Each structure stands twice: as structure tokens, then as C-alpha cells.
Amino acid sequence: MGRQFIVVEQMDYAETFIVKRLKKVIAGEQGGISEDVGWGGGGSFIVCELMQWNTRYVEQIHAAQSAEELQALWKTLQAEAFLSYKVDFARFNEHAEDFAQLSLADQKRFLLEVLDKNQLYVNLSEIDDADYQVSEEDKRLNRQFYRQV
């Protein structure tokens, strides 16, 4: 594929800073290392985004405005999310009234802690699992990127 490098960025500022910088480099802007090495411009790039899984629940927890929202989300998490093996969920559910007595911030903190952070995004090895609903186009792109065509 003629790649020289791959840029990986997980922070939200990728579109704001990194994409703008790559466009300038391709256009031949002379700054930083480009000037030092006599870069004349050229090339291309694509932006790909990882398919979220538990990350979407992190965002929903942060956005929740009430304990009722978090209680409804807790039911969703138990049914759909990847949760930590360290938590005894049956025991937690038995003592739901104790959870309800926590502040909203502490409830959010707890729910964030029970999410399995190794499952924030869909792993490549799982893209054929129907539960994730990965489109055929995304599967094709991944196979092409990883040269599995």
C-alpha cells in the first residue's frame, strides 16, 4: 500500500489538530520537520474511527442527569455491556437501595468502574459477531487495512 507511517490518536482533538496538520503537510507547508528535510508535499491519508462498544456507555453515564437515568442505564449495562468480572451483580442488585442513597457523582463513578475497559471498542477478532452489527463495508475496510483480503 506504500504506507510510510500510521498515525493513531484516541483523543477528541484528532479532527481539530491532527487532520489539519496532515492536510498542511500534504500541501507542502514548510514548517517543523518538513522544512528540515526539504519535504515538497504529496501523499494522502484516511481517517478511521474505532467502533465503540463500552465507550458509548461511558458517554451515557457522564451525560446522565438523574439517578433514575442511571438506574435504567444499569439495566442496559447488565444486558449489553462488557462488565468487570470482579463485581457480584446479583449481590449488587440485592442491595440496590444502598446504591440509590449514593450521590449522583458516586453512582456514576461506580458504574464507570464496573465497565470492562478492555472492551471500550469492538476488537477486530469480533467483527463477524452479529451482535456488533458491523457493516459489510466496515468489514471490507478492516480486511483491506490488515491485508486480509
How buried is residue 8: exposed, middle or buried, by Cβ count under 10 Å (0-12/13-18/19+)? exposed
Q: What is the amino acid identity at position 3?
A: R
- Does the pTM exceed 0.95? no
Identify the pLDDT of residue 1. Answer: 45
The mean pLDDT values, 10 residues at a time, for the chain of 149 residues are 68 82 88 82 84 94 96 93 90 89 95 94 92 92 79
The SS3 of residue 78 is helix
- Among 31, 30, 37, smallest CA distance to 4 is for 37
Matching residue, cell 483491506 = 144
CA atoms within 13 A on the CB side of 108: 13
Identify the pLDDT of residue 2. Answer: 56
Per the document, the length of the chain is 149
